[in-house]
Chain A
Amino acid sequence: MKKLIQLNVNGDSHEIAVSPETSLLNALRGELDLIGPKKGCDSGGCGCCSVHVDGEVVYSCMMYAAAAQGKRITTVEGIGKPDDLHPVQQAFIDAGAVQCGYCTSGMMMAAKQLLDTTPNPDEATIRHAIAGNLCRCTGYSKIVDAIKLAASRL
């Protein structure tokens, strides 16, 4: 049975009808057309679907949409726009951290949370902060470079 729920995403309030088992990821992509969060595994293993819920990184595939009611949800679409990029987005471009880009949305959400709480993280801290986000293209070197670059600009 579908139920109406209220989701606060990127500062906007939306009312959508979802089943109790609908994941936040499916609600964002399917109901709200927010295609930034990606489905890489749907089982909590890759981090492509990472979003912020009340400022914390969560795998949106592992959270029920209904459980996100009343919380502040931020997707990659909410951190910057093509003509007004967040420093993390700009740094991912400048450092060459984007290849296929499928991990990028989730990776940047993990990076942003790190930098929101830790202004000048060292290499090991950065690597641990993104250990829940898989990338198959880059070997992570340029992603780590990008996060260092963003830290230096923030």
Chain B
Amino acid sequence: MSVIGQSVTRPDALDKVTGGKGYPVNFDLPGMLHAKMLRSPYPHAKIRSIDTSAVEKLPGVKAVLTHADVPDRKFTPVYFVPTDTKSMPQDMLIMSDHVRFAGQPVAAVAATTADIADQAAELIEVEYEELPAVFDPEEAMQPGAPKLHDYSENNIAVAPVMEFGDIEQGFAEADQIFEGTYTTQRVHTCYLEPRVCVAEYDGTGGYTINSSQQHLFGLREKLADVLEIPHSKVTVIKPPYIGGGFGGKLDIGFIEPIAALLSKKTGKPVRMEQSRYEDMITTTRNPIKVYLKTGVKKDGTMTARYGHSILDTGAHATHGAEVINVHGFALLASYGCMNAKWEGKTVHTNNMIGGGYRGYGAPQAMFAVESQNDEICEALGLDSIEFRRKNTRRSGQPHPLVPMLKIDSYAMDEVLDQGAEAIGWANRKEANSDAGTVKRGRGMALFPFWVSGCVGFPDIYEHSGAIVKLNGDGTADVATAAMDIGSGQTTALLQIAAEELGVPMEAMRMVQNSDTTTVPFDAPTHASRVTYSAGLAIQAASNSAKQRVKEVAGIMLEANPEDLDVADGIVSVKGSPDKSVSVADVASRADSPFIQVGPEGPAPTTLEEKGTIIGMSSQAPPSNPSPIAAGFVDVAVDTDTGEVTVERVVYSHDLGKVINPNAAEGQVEGGFQQGMGMALMEHIQFDPDSGTCLTGDFLDYKIPTAVEMPADIESVFIESNEPTGPFGAKSMSEACCVVPAPAIANAIYNATGARIKDLPITPEKVLAALGKL
């Protein structure tokens, strides 16, 4: 293969190093107004009255919007499900007179400048009736707790249960039973480009919108549904790229419908950009408290597993209603234990709304699972790697999520063995065996089963499409709705197209000016799906264009199309490479006038040769192959200060086939940063009385900088060659974010003998665990 497996340069890199024009944050329209929101200072309240009259008269103010002006239509904002899905509650409103979290929008102002809008919003007079608030999900489930929604009994939005095998029998067969409670905190994706949008009303009931989002068609559907207009009345512009997402832009925000309504009211385009504080209280990883109990035989065979998870979803269910299911799967079924039961609860509180974030419930689950797995190994004297090898699934077994499928590529042994080899697992010391104040330790964690998209899951969109169009100079333009959110989706998709078409990477170009009227539907950039699912669609479209290239070239070369090869931009007859024609000549011949006048006079071409060479696809993927990730870390723990430093990292990944090695490493390295932040430092915190966010900027919400991050991150990629994937590829970008927290916790145990089950593992918690606080 000539393009797949190469670290080709990202086509968007040049623009990004010279200023970066393509971000939605730069989008500008003539006459554009700027809007800002007034947000509630109270976590739970009823709005008694709201007086905007004084504000409306201020110079520069063009329109004000309150809950009275928005459709009273409940919805789920999550992009990857239909708005009225039966699988998730519809409990969101654009604005409401019932405030359920501190920071909920209660009014919005459009003005000639953002400063005027901001100042005007603050002058709106609102009379609130404060209601008792509840911030702890366990308290929220108690009788008599403040009630947030009519439909959620005891504030429980959803309560899924998963069960298979015979759990009682399983525990009865165990030689030993282990149990523990593991908690994770609220962390933010910290995309650096804020949520921002520009909406424009067209005067006849339609809207055009540009927004920093992870799903072009999701925004179209959600905005149309919440405004109660047909989907085709909303056109979503596809930005060439956005400034990060990580799951944090996987739902319609308040800004898009509010900007649209303000645009309708004023007849002008309206821009809304969130401040970092507003972003910090707009979707996070849901905190989950997990109780986990495992039965094991002396030889390490798991006989039963039981789990119970309480997820704090905040004021509205939104993603929390689905995160809980994915979390339950990771907790119970990512390993192969056949007797298992899990009960989950997604609970409303007066906290901020949760959301999507890389791993989508799995990081919370695997922190519990992989911590407890190591506790089991420690107690039974088993090796961490052998214990995991014994209890994971194998290729050929049924797919645990999609019963009609079986597990195909799945290189568990190679992942474990090559990772162990690279870190030097055999040299791991006994726990707490260093004498000095700084103790070193080595730990690992495995994420044995995950997804490449969502095929087979109820109510979740999972199909992709593409258009590949050849130009007369041998280049090709590719159009797709798959969003590049920073991780290099465009690059990987163009590599797949180039390889399939048989042209060099430089010949490929992603269409820059497209929108929902010109590209086929694609599911979101989420769930590790783009390389696999959108990649397959791009490959199919490229293949159909290639077939057409061969047909035209066959006429030109007087050869049977089946006897032709296309590589490096040249179509040649198999076995006689001299008999060839360039893809450029084929494409221009197809696009030429019917009668071409050459030096010898007019010469007709044939009807069969005519017509722009184009390939199209729209299709669902055939499978949902699992990647595997194992993370190995070396840490140093200063037992005087409690400070933990990660010194070295090895990742071992079964990702099917590496499309772009440099980009794949970049995913792993970035995934580790997010996982390490969750493990050691990141934590959105609220004032316990008022419910307001105390960590609204990067001075209070710390993420790892280049100084805290380890310099030594090694990626081992195992190419198991997924038979259903594009050139053998499956997914990778979430699994690498799941393993860091438990690997670090396990390494801290190995260093100090202290087991910390509550994230983040701050210096205070380390010192407390060492009995020094």
Contact string against B for A residues 133-151, beta-carbon threshold 8 Å, 1 for contact and 0 otherwise = 1111111111110000000
Chain B positions 686-723 with a Cβ under 8 Å from a chain A Cβ: 697-699, 703, 705-707, 709, 711, 713
User: CA A130 – CA B708 in complex, angstroms?
Assistant: 12
Set of chain A residues within 8 Å of B15, measured between Cβ atoms = 82
Tell me, yes or no, whether A74 is within 8 Å of chain B by CB. Answer: no
User: CA A82 – CA B273 in complex, angstroms?
Assistant: 29
Closest chain A CB from B474 CB (angstroms): 23
Closest chain A CB from B32 CB (angstroms): 12
The reply to whether B20 and A105 form a contact with Cβ atoms under 8 Å apart is yes
Contact string against A for B residues 660-698, beta-carbon threshold 8 Å, 1 for contact and 0 otherwise = 001101101111111000000000000000000000011
Set of chain B residues within 8 Å of A123, measured between Cβ atoms = 711
For B670, give its contact among A35, A48, A108, A137 (CB under 8 Å): A137
Interface centre among B21, B189, B243 (most CB of A within 10 A): B243
Q: A40-B276, A134-B698, A137-B486 are in contact. Are A102 and B20 (CB under 8 A)?
A: yes
Q: Which residue of A lies closest to B700 (CB)?
A: A45
User: CA A80 – CA B698 in complex, angstroms?
Assistant: 30
Q: A100-B241, A103-B192, A144-B706 are in contact. Are A85 and B669 (CB under 8 A)?
A: no
Tell me, yes or no, whether A3 is within 8 Å of chain B by CB. Answer: no
For A141, give its contact among B12, B25, B711 (CB under 8 Å): B711
Q: A43-B698, A102-B193, A131-B706 are in contact. Are A96 and B7 (CB under 8 A)?
A: yes
The reply to whether A45 and B697 form a contact with Cβ atoms under 8 Å apart is yes
The reply to whether A101 and B486 form a contact with Cβ atoms under 8 Å apart is yes
Tell me, yes or no, whether A128 is within 8 Å of chain B by CB. Answer: yes
Set of chain B residues within 8 Å of A42, measured between Cβ atoms = 275-276
Tell me, yes or no, whether B429 is within 8 Å of chain A by CB. Answer: no
Set of chain A residues within 8 Å of B668, measured between Cβ atoms = 139
For A101, give its contact among B7, B20, B273, B674 (CB under 8 Å): B20
The reply to whether A39 and B25 form a contact with Cβ atoms under 8 Å apart is yes
The reply to whether A131 and B670 form a contact with Cβ atoms under 8 Å apart is no
Tell me, yes or no, whether A56 is within 8 Å of chain B by CB. Answer: no
Q: Which residue of B lies closest to A141 (CB)?
A: B669
The reply to whether A101 and B706 form a contact with Cβ atoms under 8 Å apart is no
The reply to whether B666 and A99 form a contact with Cβ atoms under 8 Å apart is yes
The reply to whether B706 and A98 form a contact with Cβ atoms under 8 Å apart is no
User: CA A75 – CA B18 in complex, angstroms?
Assistant: 10
Tell me, yes or no, whether A94 is within 8 Å of chain B by CB. Answer: yes
User: CA A43 – CA B241 in complex, angstroms?
Assistant: 25
Q: Which residue of A lies closest to B676 (CB)?
A: A139
Tell me, yes or no, whether B244 is within 8 Å of chain A by CB. Answer: yes
User: CA A114 – CA B18 in complex, angstroms?
Assistant: 19
For A82, give its contact among B18, B191, B192, B488 (CB under 8 Å): B18
Q: Which residue of A lies closest to B705 (CB)?
A: A131
Tell me, yes or no, whether A89 is within 8 Å of chain B by CB. Answer: yes
Tell me, yes or no, whether B201 is within 8 Å of chain A by CB. Answer: no
User: CA A135 – CA B711 in complex, angstroms?
Assistant: 15
Interface centre among A96, A105, A143 (most CB of B within 10 A): A96
Chain A positions 96-119 with a Cβ under 8 Å from a chain B Cβ: 96, 98-105, 108
Q: A36-B20, A42-B276, A76-B19 are in contact. Are A96 and B662 (CB under 8 A)?
A: yes
The reply to whether A45 and B706 form a contact with Cβ atoms under 8 Å apart is no
User: CA A86 – CA B762 in complex, angstroms?
Assistant: 41
The reply to whether B14 and A82 form a contact with Cβ atoms under 8 Å apart is yes
Set of chain A residues within 8 Å of B189, measured between Cβ atoms = 136
Tell me, yes or no, whether A52 is within 8 Å of chain B by CB. Answer: no
The reply to whether B487 and A127 form a contact with Cβ atoms under 8 Å apart is no
Closest chain B CB from A131 CB (angstroms): 5
The reply to whether B666 and A142 form a contact with Cβ atoms under 8 Å apart is yes
Tell me, yes or no, whether B379 is within 8 Å of chain A by CB. Answer: no
For A139, give its contact among B10, B26, B673 (CB under 8 Å): B673
The reply to whether A99 and B488 form a contact with Cβ atoms under 8 Å apart is yes
The reply to whether B192 and A102 form a contact with Cβ atoms under 8 Å apart is yes
The reply to whether B244 and A139 form a contact with Cβ atoms under 8 Å apart is no
Closest chain A CB from B51 CB (angstroms): 28
Contact string against B for A residues 51-81, beta-carbon threshold 8 Å, 1 for contact and 0 otherwise = 0000000000000000000000001110011
Q: A93-B9, A98-B13, A138-B669 are in contact. Are A40 and B193 (CB under 8 A)?
A: yes
The reply to whether B18 and A77 form a contact with Cβ atoms under 8 Å apart is yes
The reply to whether B669 and A139 form a contact with Cβ atoms under 8 Å apart is yes
Tell me, yes or no, whether B242 is within 8 Å of chain A by CB. Answer: yes
User: CA A102 – CA B672 in complex, angstroms?
Assistant: 19
Q: A48-B192, A100-B485, A101-B241 are in contact. Are A138 and B666 (CB under 8 A)?
A: yes
Set of chain B residues within 8 Å of A77, measured between Cβ atoms = 18-19
User: CA A38 – CA B212 in complex, angstroms?
Assistant: 14
Set of chain A residues within 8 Å of B713, measured between Cβ atoms = 139, 141
Tell me, yes or no, whether B190 is within 8 Å of chain A by CB. Answer: yes
The reply to whether B243 and A38 form a contact with Cβ atoms under 8 Å apart is yes
User: CA A80 – CA B17 in complex, angstroms?
Assistant: 9
Closest chain A CB from B213 CB (angstroms): 13
User: CA A48 – CA B26 in complex, angstroms?
Assistant: 14
Tell me, yes or no, whether B461 is within 8 Å of chain A by CB. Answer: no
The reply to whether B192 and A140 form a contact with Cβ atoms under 8 Å apart is no
Closest chain A CB from B730 CB (angstroms): 21
User: CA A134 – CA B707 in complex, angstroms?
Assistant: 11
Set of chain A residues within 8 Å of B697, measured between Cβ atoms = 41, 43, 45
Set of chain B residues within 8 Å of A76, measured between Cβ atoms = 17-19
Set of chain B residues within 8 Å of A127, measured between Cβ atoms = 705-707, 709, 711
Q: Which residue of B lies closest to A140 (CB)?
A: B706
User: CA A140 – CA B673 in complex, angstroms?
Assistant: 9
User: CA A92 – CA B15 in complex, angstroms?
Assistant: 12
User: CA A89 – CA B192 in complex, angstroms?
Assistant: 20
Tell me, yes or no, whether B194 is within 8 Å of chain A by CB. Answer: yes
Can you report 7 residue pairs joining A to B where beta carbons are below 8 Å apart? Answer: A80-B18, A100-B193, A123-B711, A127-B705, A141-B665, A142-B662, A142-B666
Closest 8 CB pairs of A and B: A100-B486, A45-B698, A101-B16, A102-B243, A139-B669, A36-B19, A96-B662, A140-B706
Give me the interface of B with A, judged by CB distance under 8 Å. 7, 9-10, 12-21, 23, 25-26, 115, 189-194, 241-244, 246, 273, 275-276, 485-488, 662-663, 665-666, 668-674, 697-699, 703, 705-707, 709, 711, 713
